[in-house]
């Protein structure tokens, strides 16, 4: 039925792709130019090969707005935060969903509803009281304080609940006949059959953790725990003095890990996202 | 739906739910309760202690023209971001669903912005549109547009809408593409045999079948625009110039953290919680329908 290439589809998709990729390309090209040329409004869209060094140099650069903490250090903090949030959420959500699906215990319904309610309480709406709790526990400016309040996740618990409910009863019965207890069943059967969901969830939660802005802005006032997203946002506050080539080099570093995780795990991620939110 | 076969005992499951419950109570429920408590209290004249004032904070808030303006601004912002991002995602998904060469590459490019932090998106757009050095600033000036979002509130508002939509198109694209792929090909081919072509086929067959996806995405996009855009707005403009880009969540932060009006900020938090409870309830209705079909 098709006659020749579908030019209209190519045109629309190429235009869409350009709108999303060009800004990132400009950031990449900008990183390789001299700060002076950018300040003059003299930006070339072709990257300067000799300017590629900026990507290495920026790792050791410590912006004054973040108390001189080097960009490389911020990347490590962000990586630690993203991993702690992703793995922490997966761990506590998988365990609580397992308890809620495979056991009948007093308060089970209440526990489920309490977890569900966290869906309705994003950080943005409980800024001050959450900060007050953190201050009471002396968790401001600690890695625990940076990650812990972001670890509870109703979305992950709901997804695991759906996956666990779908595990056939015959599998549980067979395991019981073999004398497997709930802990062995969890590690030998439940985790392996949920592997694809775990991978998908990891992508979504890693991106979520890496991209946090508001909570680190409140929970950290000390350069040692500065995240890369916050550090870069702070660099652009004093417009005239901004070293734009360095900001853009840091920006490319900041988008690389989440973009790599999404692209490399694209198949699981897309499936996981459409399933997780349903 | 419930399982038939279970494990016995309640000590182990209690241990298993304990970590998540502890974090939920400590960092979610307790702070939410605190927000409720603060919202009905106010500091006395010396700011040393607080007393119960009932609904006064809410009355002050709803009576203030500034707050009502922020509510209206947030509504416009949500509508604009959701409309742009959903239309963009739908158009791209329709074409990416066709069998063309290189569609895997197109798809990869189109989901890319999902991975980029909103605050980082703002930094990239600042670089493109900064009033003095921005790459696009000069061409805009040639077109007769005196581009300076740091001074011009309308331009700043347009820019935060554009960046908000730019970030969210990828999400809508993924969901619309999944929706399109779940439509049986036989249905489309039958319509084609009946002579329905191009846009007619889309309007009469495809679009109605995408209705559940559309309703779901409306709720998700409104929640995104209302709550998740704090960092992109705050990193770009801080809510300014003036209050030109101050949405409700930006105002909570400005009033609570910067101006230290705790009672007022807590009352705003409570209103936002009520809003998100409503939106989640709507979402669950549609989710419920999705699961059963």
| Domain tally, chain A | 1
Residues from chain A contacting residue B201 (CB–CB below 8 Å): none
Q: Report how many Cβ contacts below 8 Å link chain A to chain B.
A: 307
| Domain tally, chain B | 1
The per-residue pLDDT for B57 is: 85
The per-residue pLDDT for B48 is: 66
Q: Is residue B189 part of a domain?
A: yes
Q: Is residue A6 part of a domain?
A: no
Helix or strand holding residue A275 (H, E)? helix A266-276
Q: Is residue B39 part of a domain?
A: no
Helices B153-181 and B211-223: angle between axes, nearest 10 degrees: 150
Q: Is residue A15 part of a domain?
A: no
* Domain ranges, residue B110: 52-292
* pLDDT at B202 exceeding the cut of 50: yes
**Residues ≥6 apart with Cβ < 8 Å to A42:** none
Q: Is residue A12 part of a domain?
A: no
Rounded Cα–Cα distance for residues A234 and A229 (Å): 9
Residues from chain B contacting residue A20 (CB–CB below 8 Å): 109-110, 112-113, 166, 169-170
Minimal Cβ distance to A106: which of B10, B227, B231: B10
Minimal Cβ distance to B135: which of A43, A131, A218: A43
The per-residue pLDDT for A248 is: 93
Helix or strand holding residue B42 (H, E)? strand B41-43
The per-residue pLDDT for B293 is: 29
Alpha helix positions (H), A103-185:
108-117, 127-136, 143-147, 154-165, 169-177, 182-185
CATH code of the domain covering residue A191: 1.10.3720.10
Q: Is residue A56 part of a domain?
A: no
Q: Is residue B13 part of a domain?
A: no
Q: What is the pLDDT of residues B81-96, one digit of tens each?
A: 999 999 999 999 999 9
- Residue the block writes with tokens 């904070």: B57
Looking at A177-181, B35-39, B43-47, B274-278, which range is the least confident one? Answer: B43-47
Q: Which pair of tokens denotes residue A100?
A: 């809620």
* pLDDT at B22 exceeding the cut of 70: yes
The per-residue pLDDT for B286 is: 66
Q: What is the pLDDT along chain A (278 residues), one digit of tens a residue?
A: 455 678 889 999 999 999 999 999 999 998 998 888 887 777 788 888 888 888 998 898 888 888 888 999 999 999 999 999 999 999 999 999 999 999 998 888 899 888 888 877 777 777 788 888 888 999 999 999 999 988 877 888 988 998 898 888 888 888 888 888 899 999 998 999 888 889 988 999 999 999 999 999 989 888 889 999 999 988 886 555 678 889 999 999 999 999 999 999 988 888 777 775 54
**Confidence category of residue B73, pLDDT binned at 50, 70, 90:** very high
Q: Is residue B21 part of a domain?
A: no
The per-residue pLDDT for B292 is: 34
Q: What is the pLDDT of residues B168-198, one digit of tens each?
A: 999 999 999 999 988 888 887 887 777 777 7
Rounded Cα–Cα distance for residues B192 and B190 (Å): 5
CATH code of the domain covering residue B212: 1.10.3720.10
The per-residue pLDDT for B263 is: 81
Q: Is residue B11 part of a domain?
A: no
The per-residue pLDDT for A239 is: 52
* pLDDT at B224 exceeding the cut of 80: yes
Residues from chain A contacting residue B123 (CB–CB below 8 Å): 232-233, 236, 247, 251
Q: Is residue A24 part of a domain?
A: no
The per-residue pLDDT for A66 is: 82
**Nearest chain B residue to A151, by CA:** B23
Minimal Cβ distance to A233: which of B123, B262, B290: B123
**Confidence category of residue B163, pLDDT binned at 50, 70, 90:** very high
Cα dihedral across residues A241, A242, A244, A249: positive or negative: positive
* Domain ranges, residue A99: 64-276
């Amino acid at each position: 039925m098709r006659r020749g290439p579908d030019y209209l589809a190519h045109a629309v998709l190429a235009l869409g792709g350009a709108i999303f990729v060009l800004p990132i390309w400009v950031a990449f090209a900008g990183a390789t130019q001299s700060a002076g040329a950018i300040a003059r409004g003299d930006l070339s869209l072709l990257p300067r090969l000799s300017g590629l060094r900026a990507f290495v140099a920026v790792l050791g650069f410590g912006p004054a707005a973040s108390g001189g903490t080097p960009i490389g250090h911020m990347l490590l903090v962000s990586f630690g935060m993203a991993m702690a949030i992703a793995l922490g959420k997966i761990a506590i959500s998988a365990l609580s969903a397992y308890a809620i699906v495979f056991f009948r215990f007093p308060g089970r319904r209440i526990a489920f509803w309490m977890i569900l309610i966290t869906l309705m309480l994003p950080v943005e709406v409980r800024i001050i009281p959450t900060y007050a709790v953190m201050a009471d526990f002396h968790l401001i400016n600690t890695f625990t304080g940076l990650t812990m309040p972001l670890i509870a996740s109703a979305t992950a618990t709901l997804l695991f609940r759906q996956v666990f409910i779908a595990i056939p009863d015959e599998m549980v019965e067979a395991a019981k006949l073999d004398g497997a207890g709930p802990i062995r069943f969890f590690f030998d059967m439940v985790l392996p059959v949920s592997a694809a969901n775990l991978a998908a969830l990891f992508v979504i939660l890693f991106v979520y953790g890496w991209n946090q802005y508001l909570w680190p802005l409140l929970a950290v006032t000390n350069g040692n725990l500065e995240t890369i997203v916050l550090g870069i946002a702070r660099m652009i506050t004093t417009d005239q003095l901004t070293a734009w080539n360095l900001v853009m080099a840091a920006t490319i570093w900041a988008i690389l890990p989440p973009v790599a995780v999404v692209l490399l795990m694209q198949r699981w991620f897309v499936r996981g996202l459409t399933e997780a939110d349903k | 739906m419930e399982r038939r076969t279970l494990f016995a005992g309640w000590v182990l499951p209690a241990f298993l739910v304990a970590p998540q419950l502890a974090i939920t109570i400590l960092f979610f429920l307790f702070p939410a309760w605190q927000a409720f408590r603060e919202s009905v209290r106010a500091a006395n004249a010396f700011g040393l202690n607080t007393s119960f004032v009932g609904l006064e904070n809410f009355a002050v808030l709803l009576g203030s023209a500034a707050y009502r303006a922020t509510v209206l601004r947030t509504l416009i912002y949500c509508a604009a971001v959701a409309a742009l991002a959903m239309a963009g995602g739908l158009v791209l998904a329709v074409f990416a669903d066709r069998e063309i060469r290189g569609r895997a590459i197109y798809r990869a490019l189109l989901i890319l912005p999902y991975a980029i932090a909103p605050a980082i998106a703002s930094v990239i757009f600042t670089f493109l549109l900064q009033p003095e050095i921005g790459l696009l600033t000069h061409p805009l000036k040639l077109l007769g547009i005196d581009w300076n979002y740091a001074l011009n509130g309308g331009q700043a508002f347009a820019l935060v809408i554009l960046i908000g939509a730019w970030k969210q198109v990828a999400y809508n694209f993924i969901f619309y593409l999944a929706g399109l792929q779940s439509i049986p090909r036989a249905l489309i081919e039958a319509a084609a045999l009946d002579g329905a072509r191009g846009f007619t086929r889309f309007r009469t067959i495809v679009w109605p079948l995408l209705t559940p996806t559309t309703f779901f995405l409306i709720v998700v996009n409104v929640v995104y625009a209302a709550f998740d855009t704090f960092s992109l707005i705050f990193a770009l403009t801080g809510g300014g110039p003036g209050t030109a880009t101050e949405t409700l969540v930006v105002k909570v932060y400005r009033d609570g953290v910067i101006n230290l009006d705790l009672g007022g900020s807590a009352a705003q938090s409570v209103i936002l919680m009520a809003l998100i409870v409503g939106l989640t309830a709507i979402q669950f209705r549609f989710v419920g329908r999705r699961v059963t079909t």
